[in-house]
Amino acid sequence: MKNVAIVGLGVIAQKYVDVMLESSLIHIRTVCDRKHTSLAKRLSDLGIPYFQDYEAMPLEGVDVVFVLTPVDTHWELGNYFLMKRKHVFLEKPATQDLKSLDNLISRSIKSGIVLDVILHWRYGNEVMFLKNREDLFSDAKRIHMIIDDPYTKDGFVIPSKASLGGAWLDSGINALSFLSLWFDLKAFRLKSSTARYCDKTSLDIHHVRIYEFDKMEIVIEIHWDRGKNHKETLVEKSDSVLRIDHTNQSVYKSNIKVFDGRSEDRLKTHYHNFLKTLQHHTTDHEALLELHKLVFEKQEGDSYEYNKGE
């Protein structure tokens, strides 16, 4: 069993907690958030010690700290708990820049302490199925990933979603982490990127990046501006189209369903499958850096425009 501490008790933490409380492999020892959220109250009612200051958290007996706070706090919190010689798992993305991530990785390697990022898209039931069906990706000519989240209202970012950092930072890493299971990200070449921004927050609400991998085109299209919640990947082959419905955890080949992985809530499924790997977890720091390098990549001549709302 792993004894864990959780820092950050917002919306996403609810999914983690639901799974952890159901797991015989995880025991929540202590939690922290600056605000006494409804989740903080729920856990307090269960007898789990709650703190507003992470430095006041008792860490004796804690094996792993889950940092589920906004990305702009990750370096500070990750560094603190590594200094306390606790294994650390960060919500994605790891940090706001590559240098900060490299610094945390160096500290973890020197101390022999685990530092990793929870790349939850890798743990959907549809992805677990595809890991054993690499033939479905053979001879792919084009991959088009379309990610929708309803995070704007009247053209502006909903205030509670501003801490996510924008469409690309929040979802680009999900798309790239999924693709990295089959393709070498080092060989990706960014051909173009376009974005539309909210002028109130300067956050992107629509973002498209087009990569070239060998002779294949890979398009990642992210929307916060269409008022829906849906994620899918289309893999175009010479004789068929593979459609991966991430929202419903299903896979179709030429419109014929070849896998149906719908069960519990999608995110709960992700964290459920992730926590199963915790006992024998391994970290690939080089791959983690390569992934974030693409997340933070800029390109001259990018087409960016501001959205003034509707």
pTM of the model: 0.93
Q: Which residues contact 217 (CB under 8 A, 6 or more apart)?
A: 141, 142, 143, 191, 210, 211
Same domain, 126 and 38: no
The domain in which residue 64 lies consists of 2-118
Domain count, the chain: 2
Ordered strands of the 115-118 beta sheet = 50-51, 26-32, 2-7, 64-67, 87-91, 115-118
CATH code of the domain containing 114: 3.40.50.720
142 with 261, same domain: the answer is yes
Complete DSSP assignment for 27-74: EEEEEE-SS--HHHHHHHHTT--EES-GGGS--TT--EEEE-S-GGGH
Mean pLDDT, rounded, of the chain: 93
Domain boundary among 84, 118, 152: 118
Q: Which residue has the tokens 């179709």?
A: 252
Read off φ and ψ for residue 121, nearest 5 degrees.
-60, -25
User: Binning pLDDT at 50, 70 and 90, where does residue 191 land?
Assistant: very high
Cα-flanking dihedrals φ and ψ of residue 53, to 5°? -115, 120
One domain for residues 144 and 286: yes
**CB-based burial label for 151 (10 Å; 0-12, 13-18, 19+):** buried
Residue 14: what pLDDT? 94
Query: Do 98 and 229 fall into the same domain?
Result: no
**Residues 137 and 228 both lie in one domain:** yes
With a cut of 60, say whether residue 262 has pLDDT above it: yes
CATH number for 290: 3.30.360.10
The predicted-structure confidence for 17-58, as pLDDT tens digits, reads as follows 999 999 988 999 999 999 999 999 999 999 999 999 999 999
Report the C-alpha gap between 126 and 246 in whole angstroms.
7
94 and 184 in a single domain? The answer is no
Instruction: For CA atoms 16, 20, 23, 26, give the dihedral sign.
Output: positive
Q: How far apart are CA 58 and CA 31, in angstroms?
A: 10
Question: Length of the chain in residues, anyone?
Answer: 310
**What percent of the chain lies above the pLDDT cut of 90?**
85
Return the pLDDT at 133.
78
**Residue 299 and residue 214 in one domain:** yes
d(CA 20, CA 16): 6
Instruction: Categorize the per-residue pLDDT at 137 as very low, low, confident or very high, splitting at 50, 70 and 90.
Output: confident
**Does residue 210 surpass a pLDDT of 90?**
yes
One domain for residues 114 and 127: no
Rounded CA gap, 174 and 134, in Å?
19
Looking at the fold, whether 193 and 161 belong to one and the same domain comes out as yes
Structural domain ending residue among the three candidates 118, 147, 182: 118
Q: Give yes or no: residues 208 and 275 share one domain.
A: yes
User: Among the three residues 80, 99, 118, which one is the final residue of a domain in this structure?
Assistant: 118
89, 184: one domain: no
The mean pLDDT value for 274-292 works out to: 91
Strands 2-7 and 140-148: unpaired
What SS3 state is found at 281? coil
The pLDDT tens digits of the residues spanning 78-129 come to 999 999 999 999 999 999 999 999 999 999 999 999 999 999 999 999 999 9
